[in-house]
Amino acid sequence: MQTSTAISVQAFQALVNEIHDISATQAILGWDLETYMPEQGGPLRAKQMATLAKISHNMMTSPEMAEHLRSLRQPGVLEKLDTMSQALVREVGRNFDKSQKTPIELLQEIVETTAEAHKTWVEARANKNFKQFEPVLRKIISLNQRMAEAQGYGDSPYDALLYDYEPGLTVKQLDPQFKQLKADLVPLLKAIQNSGYTPQTDFLHQGPFPQNDQLAFSEQVLKDMGFDFAAGRLDLAPHPFSSGASSMDVRLTTRVDVHDVFSALSSSMHEGGHGMYEQGVNAALNRTPLAEGTSLGIHESQSRMWENLVGRSKAFWSHYLPKLQATFPSLKSVTLEQFYHAINRVQPSFIRVEADEVTYNLHIMVRYEIEKALIEGTMKVDEVPEAWAAKMQEYLGITPANDAEGALQDIHWSHGSFGYFPTYTLGNLYSAQFFNTAKQQNPALENDIAHGNLLTLKSWLNKEIHAVGKMESATTIVQRVTGEPLNARYFVDYLWQKYGDIFNIQR
């Protein structure tokens, strides 16, 4: 490498480091806002966040950054950089190119419209009236379409939006997977409903299960999972999330309902999955955008794996139920089978965030199909409630009574986010595909889990998925780890095996 290139790489990395320091700062301010900030702190916190965002944007789009990228992306230069520098140039360049392609007026219009849209959505939802949300939603869709045009795409404008959340995936790849998934899930759900068996769940909701005991139990499980409390914490927040400043400073949150013994633990394991991904990234990538999960879908695969494939498994509870019973004596007469069945009850419902493993992805299918049609222009905004009701009836067998339990339930569209929903299902699909490989490569895995040894899985995830951070794309990771591209079959097989057993049904 020439000396001038070495100097240029160094200056480029220094600038990237500073931009990332700001993003770490934003993460801590955001965490503080949801956990400890006094209630009157809000308005000025918004100003602080806006100032940091402006500074970061200015640094990201500065002439200095443009010059670094121009010189490092020259033919004959990029290939000679070390792997990490190449990945960094690629990743930062991707964001830079996006910002270059985005007209500043469009960005401004999106900020203003979504601020307005959020308020309108809150009111419309309170009034259960989709009509009220329609005008601003129409505008948001048009802005998203303009953004897609500005960024460019191959087959569908939806691809350009998807790119923000799951870079590399396209409608062309997703459609057949999702179609097959739907074709498999609908009959599974019908079979469960026709089984005539409904697990008893009342003991989960009695209590009271004191908050401190629930938190202590969650912390113990997180420790067993391998979440490092010297490099992270668990706090309370109204809507659980995971964030952090670096692999050495990861913040999990959960929420406790003293009349629900399972939800705080379940959300802790979910957020713990996200947090352990961040903790597991190679520390050499810190202070760069490579020190993050590679995509929302892969991130969600980690949270869903711990929440569902581990936290709702019989193996896990064969070890932890006695401990839970020691903490909460009111559960002492519950058998392992009763408990396992209770936390895996399947029941179609209107609200996505309360859905079980079987119905959850059908909720996503409803949203994916509708938002794709809206962006592609094959559905009009005023057709959404009817389409929503029809799809809910077709996939889940229920029809929402009003828009609040229909198309107004999710915050995403009011934020301007189109292309986000599919990543939830991708997370579920990846999680089963990864877990299948983990079991093949660690034949004792389930036995280890049944003995409370969760570190077998954690170490495997660290090595196979976490360490590379964003150095590899989602598609590369899936192919490298499992030997094939995204394949919905593993998830469907997992569900059939698990729920076939619980509900005594056959495929």
Q: What are phi and psi of 292, to 5 degrees?
A: -140, 165
Q: Does 63 bind its own copies (CB under 8 A)?
A: no
User: Rounded to 5 degrees, what angle do the CA atoms 48, 50, 54 make?
Assistant: 120
Binding-site size for its own copies (CB under 8 A) equals 39
Minimum gap (Å) between residue 249 Cβ and its own copies: 4
From candidates 11, 29, 77, 150, binder to its own copies by CB under 8 A: 29
Pick 62 or 120: Cβ nearer its own copies: 62
* Sign of CA pseudo-dihedral 121, 124, 129, 133: negative
Q: For residue 138, which of 162, 113, 158, 172 has the smallest C-alpha distance? A: 113
Q: Does 77 bind its own copies (CB under 8 A)?
A: no
Pick 227 or 317: Cβ nearer its own copies: 227
How many Å separate Cα 449 from the centre of its chain? Answer: 24
Q: What is the 3-state secondary structure (H, E, C) of 405-452?
A: HCCCCCCHHHHCCCCCCHHHHHHHHHHHHHHHHHHHHCCCHHHHHHCC
Q: Does 64 bind its own copies (CB under 8 A)?
A: no
Minimum gap (Å) between residue 26 Cβ and its own copies: 9
Q: Does 286 bind its own copies (CB under 8 A)?
A: yes
Minimum gap (Å) between residue 114 Cβ and its own copies: 22
Structure tokens of 264?
Answer: 């705080």
From candidates 82, 223, 229, 455, binder to its own copies by CB under 8 A: 229
Rounded Cα gap, residues 348 and 391, in angstroms: 13
- The burial of 288, by beta-carbon neighbours within 10 Å (0-12 exposed, 13-18 middle, 19 or more buried), is given as buried
Pick 17 or 330: Cβ nearer its own copies: 17
- Chain positions 287 to 306 lying near its own copies, rule: CB under 8 A, are 287
67 is catalytic: no
DSSP code string of 319-357: HHHHHHHHH-GGGTT--HHHHHHHTT-----S-GGG--H
From candidates 159, 166, 219, 249, binder to its own copies by CB under 8 A: 249
Q: Does 38 bind its own copies (CB under 8 A)?
A: yes
Q: Does 36 bind its own copies (CB under 8 A)?
A: yes
Q: Does 284 bind its own copies (CB under 8 A)?
A: no
Pick 186 or 283: Cβ nearer its own copies: 283
Q: What are phi and psi of 235, to 5 degrees?
A: -130, 175
Q: Does 39 bind its own copies (CB under 8 A)?
A: yes
Rounded Cα gap, residues 455 and 370, in angstroms: 41
Q: Does 57 bind its own copies (CB under 8 A)?
A: no
Residue window 484-503: x/- pattern of binding to its own copies, with contact defined by CB under 8 A: --------------------
Annotated catalytic residue: which of 219, 271, 278, 307?
A: 271
Q: Does 373 bind its own copies (CB under 8 A)?
A: no
Q: Does 383 bind its own copies (CB under 8 A)?
A: no
Q: What is the 3-state secondary structure (H, E, C) of 30-44?
A: HHHHHHCCCHHHHHH
* Sign of CA pseudo-dihedral 417, 418, 421, 427: negative
Q: Does 21 bind its own copies (CB under 8 A)?
A: yes
Rounded Cα gap, residues 358 and 104, in angstroms: 43
Beta-sheet strands, E only, within 107-237: 232-236
Binding residues vs its own copies (CB under 8 A)? 17-18, 21-22, 24-25, 28-29, 32, 36-41, 43-45, 47-48, 50-52, 54-55, 228-233, 235, 245-246, 248-250, 286-287
The catalytic residues are 271
